[in-house]
């Protein structure tokens, strides 16, 4: 793993899904959770549930991603053809044989885990979940907490930067309009100075959003991080 590699941390809650990873070398993610595709070099997994005993609440395994494809749940788990989500689409992520993260990355603060994007250097050095987040990602998290009560927000992680030049940042949508603000509407991209106060930044974001009837991308610059 190289320092600049991107690492996607997913969650596993059942022994069956862990066996898929360890024995068959694949992992599944609902399509609706990653509609833009899988932009990562490595997959790591956070185990959640008493069934995993001492490994529960940790990231003990990671693997290099070799490819992915869209499949239905019925295709992936044929012994459950009548499952309510049998026809739902999932990304089937193929990986090399998983390696152990020694010691496992732990979650002492009991942070709620869904998906995390991080970088290879952070992953290799991390001892706790909090170590996986960059200063920029923490900054974006704070903005999401405040703005998420009014707007639909998509987070762009710093680890996605080599695939998306706007990362890290936020994509904020209004009135159910869908568009790529980064590529086609540069006049509605806000570049924020992280040295400003959060109140100043939030005021600038709200003013820009209210002045434009469509998505606005908020870009958090990496300088000074």
67 Rama sector, left if φ>0, alpha if ψ -120 to 50, beta otherwise: left
Q: Sorting pLDDT into bands at 50, 70 and 90, what band is 213? A: low
Numbers of helices and strands, H then E, in the chain: 6, 11
Residues 172 and 75 in one domain: no
Q: Are residues 170 and 115 in the same domain?
A: no
State residue 14's pLDDT score: 92
Enclosing domain of residue 141: 135-219
Query: Do 198 and 149 have their domain in common?
Result: yes
Q: Are residues 142 and 180 in the same domain?
A: yes
Residue 134 has pLDDT above 60, yes or no: yes
Same domain, 103 and 62: yes
Query: Domain boundary residue among 82, 108, 132?
Result: 132
Q: Tell me, what's the pLDDT at 43?
A: 96
- State how beta strands 116-119 and 216-219 pair: unpaired
Question: What are the pLDDT digits (tens) for 1-40?
Answer: 888 888 999 999 999 999 999 999 999 999 988 877 888 8
Q: Are residues 126 and 185 in the same domain?
A: no
CA 75 to each of CA 35, 38, 69, 72, 110: distance values in angstroms, whole numbers, following the listed order = 19, 19, 12, 5, 34
Q: What is the CA radius of gyration of the chain?
A: 19
């Amino acid at each position: 793993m190289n320092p600049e590699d991107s690492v996607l941390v997913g969650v596993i809650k059942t022994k069956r899904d862990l066996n898929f990873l360890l024995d068959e070398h694949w992992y599944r993610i609902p399509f609706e959770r990653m509609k833009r595709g899988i932009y990562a070099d490595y997959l790591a997994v956070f185990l959640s549930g008493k069934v995993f005993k001492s490994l529960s609440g940790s990231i003990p395994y990671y693997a290099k991603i070799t490819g992915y494809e869209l499949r239905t749940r019925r295709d992936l788990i044929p012994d459950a053809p009548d499952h309510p989500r049998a026809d739902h689409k999932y990304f089937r992520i193929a990986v090399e044989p998983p390696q152990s993260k020694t010691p496992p990355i732990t979650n002492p603060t009991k942070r709620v885990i869904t998906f995390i994007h991080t970088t290879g250097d952070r992953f290799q050095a991390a001892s706790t979940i909090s170590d996986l987040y960059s200063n920029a990602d923490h900054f974006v998290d704070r903005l999401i907490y405040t703005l998420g009560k009014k707007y639909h927000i998509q987070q762009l992680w710093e680890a996605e930067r080599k695939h998306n030049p706007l990362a890290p940042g936020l994509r904020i949508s209004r009135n159910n309009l869908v568009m790529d603000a980064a590529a086609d509407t540069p006049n509605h991209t806000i570049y924020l100075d992280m040295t400003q106060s959060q109140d100043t930044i939030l005021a600038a974001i709200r003013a820009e959003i209210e002045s434009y009837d469509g998505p606005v991308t908020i870009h958090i610059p990496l300088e000074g991080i």
